[in-house]
Amino acid sequence: MRGRSRAQLVQAGDGNYYVVKSPGNPQGTESLINDMIAMTIFKSLSIGCPRVTTVEVDAPMSGVYESVPLYLAAGVHFGSAVAVDPIEQSIYDFLPAPVLARVWNLDSFTGALIADRWMANIDTPQAVFHFTQTSGRDSAGIPTRILVALHIDRGEILGKKWRFKEAPTAGVYIDHGVYVRVRSWADIAPWIGQIEKIGPAAISKAIKAIPEAWLREVSRNALDAALEQLERRIHIIPDLMRSLIASPNSPFRRWRETDPTAMTPSQLDDST
């Protein structure tokens, strides 16, 4: 697999495929914890993402694929479940603009952007796409399919090594076309309100998902401090979004409000 974490595609004992990241990878065990936290929070916010779990390897595994040596040490690894059988069905990490516009859950990119800015993701957000069959049928009686996005790989949230750092365009997906439906605060406020409502509980749930084996390899004090700061940051999400909207690099190319501070989420709530 591509990327600095040197993830590997593994078929586990349950028959499912997982993208597996190992403790001590070049990005550090912190990246596994970050990924577990982010995916747990995304799931709580109903932002499309893979099912994540731990993958236990009893004995070291090694091999060679296309002249590249592969190695997986014994221990507890991070596993991101592959949504479809990768042998039978294609998974895409890039879509041309006309196809991207057909993604069923395109609005999830807005939620992911807001969550990424809240969580101080310093990496470029990634997503993968796959087709899934629905219960409906088209006019010819053929089962219909939808194209779904899954947000992945958030190993660099909470700043760098759990030291928060703000970036003007943090959390922005590389193709701004995913934000084409964002035109005003009315398109952003519901996501912010959702984070404000369930954010603390989602953080607590994420902490419980982290295996003790990973916690022994990192500074627990630094992690606790970062999570406490993350909870406090819930209150500055509107400001984080205002700074992005006012930026010359704003991804919201159809934004209709000339003044990005014209109406805050709380003002929107008051007016409804």
> If DSSP codes are grouped into helix, strand and coil, which group holds residue 44?
helix
Residue-number span of the structural domain to which 60 is assigned: 8-271
Distances (CA, A) of 26 to 20, 71, 155, 230: 14, 14, 11, 24
Q: How many CB atoms lie within 10 A of CB 20?
A: 21
Can you give the pTM of this predicted structure?
0.89
**Residue 37 belongs to a domain:** yes
Domain total of the chain: 1
232, with CB counted inside 10 A (0-12, 13-18, 19+), is exposed
- The one-digit pLDDT tens for each residue of the chain (272 residues) are 566 778 889 999 999 999 999 998 889 999 999 999 999 999 999 999 999 999 999 888 777 666 666 778 889 999 999 999 999 999 999 999 999 999 999 999 999 999 999 999 999 999 999 999 876 776 666 668 899 999 999 999 998 789 998 877 889 999 999 999 999 999 999 999 999 999 999 999 999 999 999 999 999 999 999 999 999 999 999 999 999 999 998 999 999 876 555 555 555 555 44
**Residue 3 belongs to a domain:** no
Q: In what order do the strands lie in the sheet with 75-81?
A: 8-11, 17-21, 75-81, 52-57
**Residue 1 belongs to a domain:** no
**Residue 2 belongs to a domain:** no
**Residue 204 belongs to a domain:** yes
**Residue 110 belongs to a domain:** yes
